[in-house]
């Protein structure tokens, strides 16, 4: 067995069926061995999309996504995708080709120190010096990527290591004495959490992606129902609780639901779970829940106290900790005060539901998201790009299950939504997958229309066309005297013709009702489709301006109840 | 002593890139590493890294936690409070005249420094001690004309069992 074959064998042993990649000079040996192998490979049209697709695969399935690129430019093209996965704790394995060992350091053709370049954006990395090391490194990479707080791992394989013969196939895990994620929460701390909950009169729960990654959604729901506490989420926490549930308030933050942003500072106890208190979630820190006691449950000790000072930290896996906490709360009955508070918040939620009913032309993005919601089922997966499209989706779309809302949160990577949808569809072939994009971000990755056509991957790409880089445009409108510097896209391409040139069907949509109709038939046809939806370029969500507190949103928050 | 001055002792795997990762984490937080020394530890395959750095308490806590997350880092300890601190310094100093030569040798004896190389025009002196001692010795030699200084940076160990 040669090194490249060992990579393939090891990936298959880890349960991998599909990898996303793009060949090049230093991976020719690997691709030659892949030619005869029983392992699917999706040839993306840009390496960055291989990383995003692997990421989308990982987020939709909870399993490690694998991407592959050649040395030098191939490897550096993965960097944005690796950084995206790192910021959002997504387990991916990036395999890169490298120039032969004897040329490393010589500035050889297509040489880049990708291990060095990716050091701050990977959880760990390996560079096998001989083929015997490959099986252990791949197995260890999977273990590290998926355990504890997940994250990307990189393996950089010099060309001659891909070609070299193994003396034996030994895939025992590499000893890592420095890597011991804490999974079980400290029981004394959990008991203290119970006591704080018992004393609380106005509890709130705030959850992030950690709850989804940990598989703790059932335990979260049990906790919320037991203590009768409303639940808010971060962007990436969407789906941790069914957002149609009365107790679910929706997203908190810079473009959060008004009910969440208005209510958080009124609570006397905040139970934050699997969340890192990003600046986009908290707003200005000194006015974030200043009089609220905060319990912070997270598997990563470095997140405790990083942004927000907490009263009670519990380090460990959310599922374990919530299960123990629920057990301790068996006898707990919510007091009248708690019930009064929660009833008030539930009513406030209804009163502050954002307006989604419009019949305007040009279309309001709210109309589009509403019609998408009406067609999709709880099993459907929605991926988003970054910018206004993302915030509209996050704000107006109720996610009902975990791993069904996929978005680049921490890094905010434009061009993420479409390739992530490809990965999600490979992971969940039975679920409808819709990606919501702006016209700016979609143009960064539109070459992947070739990929979805070639492999017949029936993802639906929604392209919201407002001919602006809307999020920056919105900031310029509100905060920079309407000086729209470089945010007007001018003449956009004809997205329908663009898609058709790749052989992908496309529909141009301009009026209410058309999105629903086109999306329903796209799902029925089970083919890749692009929906080019022309929207009002002046529509913008209310926001927290920089330096504002969580309850200091600017812009008019339009309410559904005001629709006459 | 400056309350923001810290000595961190870490046990790390002896693998390529570890020094780069550790230094990179400090850099990301905007901390300037005063010195960093690395060498074999009592366990085969593990190195001990001693880092001295100026950092506020909250920032240092965050860096320490981030360091702990590195797979190659096994143990971290802030030993600022009760550490034995040593640094080795080599100084090459000019000998302007014969009187100077004996004067320098006397200073060296007082500081328990050793003369390790002699030419007609220079002396090469080895001195070990904490930062303060070495700084005082160097300032005494300044008048003679220092040609070169090479310092190892601080290594340290906590006192007691």
> Which H, E and C letters describe chain B, residue by residue?
CCCCEEEEEEEEECCCCHHHHHHHHHHHCCCCEEEEEEEECCCCCEEEEEEEEECCHHHHHHHHHHHHHCCCEEEEEECCCCEEEEEEEEEEEECCCHHHHHHHHHHHHHCCCEEEEECCCEEEEEEEECHHHHHHHHHHHHHHCEEEEEECCCEEEECCC
Q: Is residue A170 part of a domain?
A: no
Domain that holds residue A468: 365-562
Looking at beta carbons, which residues of chain B come within 8 Å of A177? 13, 74
Q: Look at residue A456 in the predicted model and tell me its pLDDT.
A: 98
Q: Is residue A445 part of a domain?
A: yes
Query: Which residue in B21, B69, B71 is closest to A176 by CB distance?
Result: B71
pLDDT in tens, A363-404: 999 999 999 999 999 999 999 999 999 999 999 999 999 999
What percent of chain B shows pLDDT beyond 70? 99
Q: Which residue of A has its CA nearest to B10?
A: A178
Mean pLDDT of all residues in A66-81: 98
Chain A residues 297-316 with CB within 8 Å of chain B: 300-302, 304-306
pLDDT in tens, B8-35: 999 999 998 899 999 999 988 888 899 9
Shortest CA distance to A533 belongs to which of A474, A476, A464?
A: A464
Q: Which residues pair with A534 in a beta bridge?
A: A465
The residue from A318, A351, A384 where one domain ends is A351
Check if the beta carbon of residue A323 is closer than 8 Å to that of residue A217: no
Regarding whether A531 and A433 lie in a shared domain, the answer is yes
Gap between the Cα atoms of A253 and A555, Å rounded: 14
Mean pLDDT of all residues in A208-232: 98
Q: What is the mean pLDDT of chain A?
A: 97
Mean pLDDT of all residues in B61-73: 93
Q: Which residues pair with A531 in a beta bridge?
A: A462, A507
Is A82 a residue whose pLDDT tops 70?
A: yes
Q: Is residue A175 part of a domain?
A: no
The residue from A351, A374, A409 where one domain ends is A351
Give the total residue count for chain A: 564
Q: Which residues pair with A40 in a beta bridge?
A: A18
Q: Is A178 close to B72, i.e. CB distance below 8 A?
A: yes
For A95-115, b where at least 16 C-beta lie within 10 A, e where not — what string? bbbbbbeebbeeebebbbebb
Interface probe, candidates B15, B69, B70, chain A, greatest A C-beta count within 10 A:
B69
CA dihedral A343, A347, A349, A354 (to 10 degrees): 180
Regarding whether A317 and A213 lie in a shared domain, the answer is yes
Check the CA dihedral A445-A451-A452-A457 and report its sign.
negative
Regarding whether A298 and A154 lie in a shared domain, the answer is no
Regarding whether A372 and A520 lie in a shared domain, the answer is yes
Q: Beta strands of A385-472 (E only): which ranges?
A: 405-406, 433-438, 460-465
CATH number at residue A456: 3.40.50.970
Give the total residue count for chain B: 161
Shortest CA distance to A407 belongs to which of A428, A430, A376, A438?
A: A438
Q: Is residue A180 part of a domain?
A: no
Mean pLDDT of all residues in A313-322: 98
Mean pLDDT of all residues in A138-159: 98
| φ, ψ at A184 (rounded to 5°) | -90, 130
Q: Look at residue A551 in the predicted model and tell me its pLDDT.
A: 93
Regarding whether A215 and A155 lie in a shared domain, the answer is no
Mean pLDDT of all residues in B74-86: 94
Check if the beta carbon of residue A199 is closer than 8 Å to that of residue A335: no
Please give the model's pTM, rounded to 2 decimal places. 0.96
Domains and CATH numbers, chain B: 5-81 (3.30.70.260), 84-158 (3.30.70.1150)
Mean pLDDT of all residues in A55-61: 98
Is A252 a residue whose pLDDT tops 70?
A: yes
Mean pLDDT of all residues in B96-116: 95
How far away is chain B from the Cα of A217, in angstroms, using its nearest Cα?
26
Q: Is residue A546 part of a domain?
A: yes
C-alpha gyration radius of chain A: 24
Q: Is B21 close to A179, i.e. CB distance below 8 A?
A: no
> Is residue A235 helix, strand or coil?
coil
Q: Beta strands of A132-268 (E only): which ranges?
A: 153-158, 203-207, 231-233, 248-251
Interface probe, candidates A178, A179, A313, chain B, greatest B C-beta count within 10 A:
A178
pLDDT in tens, A469-496: 999 999 999 999 999 999 999 988 999 9
Regarding whether A539 and A496 lie in a shared domain, the answer is yes
Is A218 a residue whose pLDDT tops 70?
A: yes
Q: What is the ipTM of this complex?
A: 0.90
Q: Is A124 close to B71, i.e. CB distance below 8 A?
A: yes
Q: Is B61 close to A124, i.e. CB distance below 8 A?
A: no
pLDDT in tens, A526-556: 999 999 999 999 999 999 998 999 999 999 9
Q: Is residue A336 part of a domain?
A: yes
Q: Is residue A413 part of a domain?
A: yes
Sheet holding A460-465, edge to edge: A405-406, A381-384, A433-438, A460-465, A529-534, A505-509
Is B4 a residue whose pLDDT tops 70?
A: yes
CATH number at residue A288: 3.40.50.1220
Regarding whether A301 and A254 lie in a shared domain, the answer is yes
pLDDT in tens, A137-148: 999 999 999 999
Q: Is A119 close to B20, i.e. CB distance below 8 A?
A: yes
Locate A76 and state its tokens. 């550096």
Regarding whether A402 and A346 lie in a shared domain, the answer is no
Is A233 a residue whose pLDDT tops 90?
A: yes
Is B1 a residue whose pLDDT tops 70?
A: no
Locate A187 and state its tokens. 């029981």
> Is residue A559 helix, strand or coil?
strand
Sequence-distant (6+) residues with CB within 8 A of A386 are A407, A408, A412, A413, A414, A416, A417, A441, A471
pLDDT in tens, A96-108: 999 999 999 999 9
Check if the beta carbon of residue A183 is closer than 8 Å to that of residue A320: yes
The residue from A114, A131, A163 where one domain ends is A163
Q: Is residue A15 part of a domain?
A: yes
Regarding whether A342 and A270 lie in a shared domain, the answer is yes
Q: Look at residue B30 in the predicted model and tell me its pLDDT.
A: 84
Q: Is B17 close to A120, i.e. CB distance below 8 A?
A: no
Check if the beta carbon of residue B145 is closer than 8 Å to that of residue B96: yes
Gap between the Cα atoms of A218 and B32, Å rounded: 46
Looking at beta carbons, which residues of chain A come within 8 Å of B17? 115-116, 119, 125
Q: Structural domain tally of chain A?
A: 3
Regarding whether A450 and A532 lie in a shared domain, the answer is yes
Measured CA to CA in angstroms, residue A43 lies from A49, A51, A200, A428 at distances of: 10, 12, 54, 19
Is A244 a residue whose pLDDT tops 70?
A: yes
Regarding whether A143 and A14 lie in a shared domain, the answer is yes
CA dihedral A13, A18, A22, A26 (to 10 degrees): 10
Chain B residues 65-124 with CB within 8 Å of chain A: 65-66, 68-75
Regarding whether A106 and A206 lie in a shared domain, the answer is no
Check if the beta carbon of residue A20 is closer than 8 Å to that of residue A50: yes
Measured CA to CA in angstroms, residue A311 lies from A189, A192, A367 at distances of: 11, 10, 42
């Amino acid at each position: 067995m040669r090194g490249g074959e060992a990579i393939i064998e090891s990936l298959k042993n880890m349960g991998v069926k599909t990898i996303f990649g793009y060949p090049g000079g230093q991976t020719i040996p690997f691709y030659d061995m892949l030619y005869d192998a029983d392992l699917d490979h999706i040839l993306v049209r840009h390496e960055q999309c291989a990383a995003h697709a692997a990421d989308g695969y990982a987020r939709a399935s909870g399993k490690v996504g694998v991407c592959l690129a050649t040395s030098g430019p191939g490897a550096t093209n993965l960097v944005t995708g690796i950084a995206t996965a790192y910021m959002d704790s997504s387990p991916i394995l990036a395999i890169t080709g490298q120039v032969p060992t004897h040329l490393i350091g010589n500035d050889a053709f297509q040489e880049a120190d990708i291990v060095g370049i990716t050091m701050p954006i990977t959880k760990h990395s390996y560079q096998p010096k001989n083929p015997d090391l490959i099986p252990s490194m791949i197995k260890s990479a999977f273990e590290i990527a998926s355990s504890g707080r997940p994250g990307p791992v990189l393996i950089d394989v010099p060309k001659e290591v891909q070609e070299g013969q193994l003396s034996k196939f030994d895939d025992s895990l590499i000893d890592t004495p420095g890597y011991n994620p804490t999974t079980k929460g400290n029981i004394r701390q959990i008991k203290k959490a119970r006591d704080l909950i018992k004393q609380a009169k106005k509890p709130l729960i705030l959850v992030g992606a950690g709850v989804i990654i940990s598989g703790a959604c059932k335990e979260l729901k049990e906790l919320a129902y037991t203590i009768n506490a409303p639940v808010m989420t971060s962007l990436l926490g969407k789906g941790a609780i069914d957002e149609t549930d009365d107790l679910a308030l929706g997203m908190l933050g810079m473009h959060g639901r008004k009910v969440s942003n208005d209510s958080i500072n009124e609570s006397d106890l905040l139970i934050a779970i699997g969340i890192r208190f990003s600046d986009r979630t908290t707003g200005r820190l000194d006015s974030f829940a200043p009089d609220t006691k905060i319990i912070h449950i997270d598997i990563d000790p470095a997140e405790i106290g990083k942004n927000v000072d907490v009263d009670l930290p519990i380090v460990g896996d959310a599922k374990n900790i919530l299960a123990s906490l629920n057990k301790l709360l068996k006898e707990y009955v919510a007091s009248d005060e708690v019930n009064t508070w929660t009833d008030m918040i539930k009513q406030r939620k209804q009163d502050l539901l954002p307006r989604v009913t419009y019949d305007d032309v040009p279309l309001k993005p709210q109309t589009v998201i509403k019609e998408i919601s009406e067609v999709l089922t709880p099993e459907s997966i929605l991926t988003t790009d970054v910018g206004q499209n993302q915030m509209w989706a996050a704000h107006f779309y109720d996610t009902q299950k975990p791993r069904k809302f996929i978005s680049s949160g921490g890094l905010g990577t434009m061009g993420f939504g479409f390739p992530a949808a490809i990965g999600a569809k490979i992971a969940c072939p039975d679920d409808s997958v819709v990606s919501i994009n702006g016209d700016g971000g979609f143009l960064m990755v539109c070459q992947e229309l070739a990929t979805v056509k070639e492999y017949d991957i029936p993802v639906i790409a929604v392209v919201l066309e407002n001919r602006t880089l809307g999020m920056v445009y919105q900031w310029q409108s509100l905060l920079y005297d309407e000086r729209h510097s470089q945010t007007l896209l001018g003449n956009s391409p004809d997205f329908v013709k663009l898609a058709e040139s790749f052989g992908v069907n496309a529909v141009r949509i301009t009026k209410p009702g058309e999105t629903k109709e086109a999306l329903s038939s796209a799902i029925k046809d089970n083919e890749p489709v692009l929906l080019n939806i022309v929207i009002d370029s002046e529509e913008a969500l209310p926001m927290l301006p920089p330096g504002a507190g969580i309850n200091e949103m600017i812009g008019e928050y339009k309410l559904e109840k005001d629709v006459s | 002593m400056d309350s923001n001055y810290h000595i961190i002792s870490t046990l790390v795997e002896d693998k390529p890139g570890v020094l780069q990762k550790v230094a990179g984490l400090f850099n990301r937080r905007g901390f300037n590493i005063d010195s960093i020394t690395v060498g074999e530890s009592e366990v085969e395959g593990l190195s001990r890294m001693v880092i001295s750095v100026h950092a506020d308490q909250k920032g240092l806590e965050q860096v320490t936690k981030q360091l702990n997350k590195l797979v190659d880092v096994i143990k971290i300890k802030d030993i600022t409070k009760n550490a034995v601190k040593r640094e080795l310094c080599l100084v090459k100093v000019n000998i302007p005249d014969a009187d100077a030569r004996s004067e320098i040798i006397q200073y060296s004896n007082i500081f328990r420094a050793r003369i390790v190389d002699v030419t007609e025009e220079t002396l090469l002196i080895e001195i070990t001690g904490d930062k303060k001692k070495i700084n005082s010795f160097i300032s005494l030699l300044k008048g003679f004309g220092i040609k070169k200084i090479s310092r190892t940076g601080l290594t340290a160990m906590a006192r007691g069992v």
